[in-house]
Chains A and B, each alone.
Chain A
Amino acid sequence: MAVVALLGVSLPTAHARINVTTLPGRDTVQLTVYNSADLTMVKETRTLVLRKGLNRLEFSWANTLIDPTSVEFRALTHADEVDVLDVSFPPRVAETLEWRVHSEFAGEAQVEIRYFTSGISWAADYVAESARAEKAMALSGWVRVNNHSGEDYEDAQVRLVVGVVRLVEEIAKLANEERLKRAPAGAAAPVPMAAPAASRVRRALDEALAEAETRPHEIVKEEMSEYFLYTVEGRDTIPNGWSKRMPSFQATEVPVTSYYKFEKERWGDAVLRHYRFTNSVPSRLGQEPLPDGAVKAFRVASEDGLYQYVGATQVKYIPIKETVELELGNDPEVMIKPVLMDWQKMDIKFDQNGNVSGWTIKETWQFEVQNSKEIEVVLDIRRNFKGDWSLATEAAHEKVDANKVKFIVPLKPREKQTFAYELTTRNGVNVTR
């Protein structure tokens, strides 16, 4: 619990008369949660009654994961008249600091307190619902905020940062170090994540919910520098220990191509299903980059919308306009079977000493492919070759790089096909390139 106390001091008498006033809680609180690091910026506003002259403000944060080196204070009203003289972390007092603030005026002032905490995280996740034929899908994006910071942030505005931020020291480490260093001798280190009784929190949540606005908490998105900022509309209460999942976007009729990929060097004999789509406006997306996160894919398999589970995967950060593929696991209903049908060692060359100096290997490969599904599929078969190779085939193919060739084979429902290629590899003095 972070508490701010105002210690009224009348100076310059040496015998200070101290009035300790516990203030009503925060007026507002805003959480800016990063997903690339265990970092949350907390901004809270409070209303203080300041005296003219020196004011001592105490801020304490027992049992939380606040980085004490990050705590900042500024006046929002009467900013010209309020100056922070210094900040002290008093000896033998754990998790407390004290600002000495000089004020030119007496009365109510709104102040902002800003600090970093660890223990709050967020992650994106997605649900892909492909239509029966796997040509289009509905994609919904969600964000889930987890609060293990030790602090209940009530009625908070939640902002989520998509982007990679650099930290030279971990916030959690700073929070813990400070606590250990400053804990009074003999005192047990506080447990940072002691979960409050669930029922109490549940009640708090219920109360918060009861007061909640009836309109949806939409997420407003804005771009800044290398970051993307999601601001959840309205206010949310995420008590310590809880997490909350909120809808971020939903797109329907996103064109998708389902590829069934085969590459022995990567996946052995398995055929892996991939959904390929583009994060672009013509694909009914493209409003924002998509943060990395878990994807669960389903296929709508019946008239009344019942699902088939397709698979789960992790998706990388997807910039706008980028085309990505979701790897969704093996599909035994698509078979790809390569067979080496013929192998020849020929064009033997001898050097002046009569030793073998060159030879050529000719391989004939035959591929049996079969689609046992009731929908069309597209196969993406990749073969890797080595050395001075050349390929002869009637099958449509495309060179991916110097040593990789791709065969794209569309198959109708329940269709079988075979295709073949002849691979010639020249060795020793037979090499031509």
Chain B
Amino acid sequence: MALPERARVVVALTHPDATLVEEERVVTLQKGVNHVDFSWRGVNIDPSTIQLQLLTHPDQIGFKSITTSYPPNENALVWEFSSPQAFEERVRISYILSGLTREVVYKAVADPDEKAMALRDYLRLRNNSGEDLAEAEINIGYGSGFKKSIAHEETLEMLSERVEGLPIKKTLNWDAATQPWQPEYEKNTIGLPLYYVLKNDKASKLGTHTLLRGKARIFIKTKEVADSGEAKAGDGVTFIGEDWATLTPIDREMKLFIGQSRDVKVTQLKVKSDRDNIRRNTGNAIVMWDLEEIYKVEIENFKKQAVNLTLVEHMPGYWKMIENSHSKEFKKKDAFTFEYNLLLPPETNGTNKTVVTFNLNRLNVQDNDPSSF
């Protein structure tokens, strides 16, 4: 007996690497031995995952009575079982199907002041499975699911979530390990990476599920000039950058690196580096010492707006902070990394610039210390 048409199709896209299809069909069983053929052509079904469940009379046709035969060189199988009487049976067939993939796409439009944005999450389904899915219930692991038809070779994009007024923090990043310390020696103006930071929490109207990895495209509202020459605020949008959003569990931050800012200039200098507490061996060779270091970071904001800046410093080995001009903004990230999260007031440059200094002692330094830990 060949299978009748599907009565229901459910596609589970909850697993990151595998798409599970469950389909239900109503078959008419005869009293006695039945064999039901299931075959596929041009579809990538993993045959080892195909399962049959009887939904209407599972007690009358026991688990132990179903055997499966696999013919040679054919994408097919035959189920055999005996039925105590003739009846209509709803069966559920499940299998892993390759070629049906999902991706998550984020599109966001930031307000002109860059304090909030409208975020839309889309689910993009690509069907290269060889199978046309009609009225399929699509489950992505959160939300209420969708019922959609998607043909073979069709790509279908659907809105899965929309959040208006999502608070964002715009911040620039200067990392001592990757940025030049003295930008005036550089040929080109140094751009600082620009991030939009959002939090996957209730306060941000999110926080119901883990945000999945996907491409985020960020736009900003712009004024459009009407034919009359008048500007209409917030009418148009301009693309300002994109990034891969990383998997973000609830209550954690998503940082999107979307571009560069060249209106903030950071100059870092090591203004003192003196050895102290020098220990020598009997041959008078130095075997260990401490190091007193003072760093000065000059920051100029040429913008008319205040701007957030994160300074990232890397300090390997054993060290202790002695003095620190911005202890409120200071945050130790790990044993060898600390940050300053600064708010630079508007137009603080020239004689008016922001200066961060820190003075630290590196202890028990040896020649053979590893360069990284």
Contact = CB atoms under 8 A, between A and B. Distances in A.
Given A335-B249, A341-B332, A245 B67 contact: yes
Interface in B46-102: 48-49, 51, 53, 62-74, 78, 80, 82, 92, 94, 96
A307 B67 contact: no
5 contacts: A217-B67, A240-B72, A345-B318, A348-B364, A414-B250
Interface stretch (B111-119, B164-172, B227-235, B278-286): B278-286
Interface string A325-362: 00000101101000111111110101011111001000
B134 interface: no
How many chain A residues sit at the interface, stated as a range, is 35 or more
Interface of A: 125, 127, 140, 195, 198, 201-202, 205-206, 209-210, 212, 214-218, 236, 238, 240-247, 250, 294, 296, 298, 301, 305-312, 330, 332-333, 335, 339-346, 348, 350, 352-356, 359, 363-364, 370, 372, 414, 416
A202 B16 CA distance: 38
A210 B288 CA distance: 89
Contact of B72 (A198, A305, A355, A372): A198
B355 interface: no
Contacts of B252: 370
Given A198-B71, A294-B48, A309-B12, 20 more contacts: A140-B63, A216-B62, A216-B64, A243-B69, A247-B63, A247-B67, A296-B48, A296-B49, A301-B12, A305-B53, A332-B210, A339-B333, A340-B373, A343-B335, A346-B318, A346-B364, A354-B282, A356-B288, A364-B335, A370-B250
Nearest to A368: B252
Nearest to A354: B281
Nearest to B61: A216
Interface in B8-27: 10, 12, 14-16, 18, 20, 22
A356 B369 CA distance: 13
Interface of B: 10, 12, 14-16, 18, 20, 22, 32-33, 35, 48-49, 51, 53, 62-74, 78, 80, 82, 92, 94, 96, 139, 141, 209-210, 247, 249-252, 279-283, 287-288, 317-318, 332-336, 363-364, 366, 373
Given A198-B74, A333-B249, A343-B336, A218 B64 contact: yes
A364 B318 CA distance: 12
Contacts of B251: 370, 416
Contacts of A301: 12, 14, 139
A242 B69 contact: yes
A355 B373 contact: no
Nearest to A299: B14
Contacts, number: 160
A356 B280 CA distance: 10
A348 B249 contact: no
Nearest to A240: B72
A202 B73 CA distance: 12
Nearest to B333: A339
- Chain A contact residues: helix, strand, loop or mixed: strand
B80 A212 contact: yes
B82 A214 contact: yes
Contacts of B332: 341
A353 B282 contact: yes
B15 A363 contact: no
B279 A350 contact: yes
B247 A332 contact: yes
Contact of A348 (B33, B66, B73, B288): B288
Contacts of A205: 69, 71, 78
Contact of A341 (B67, B139, B283, B335): B335
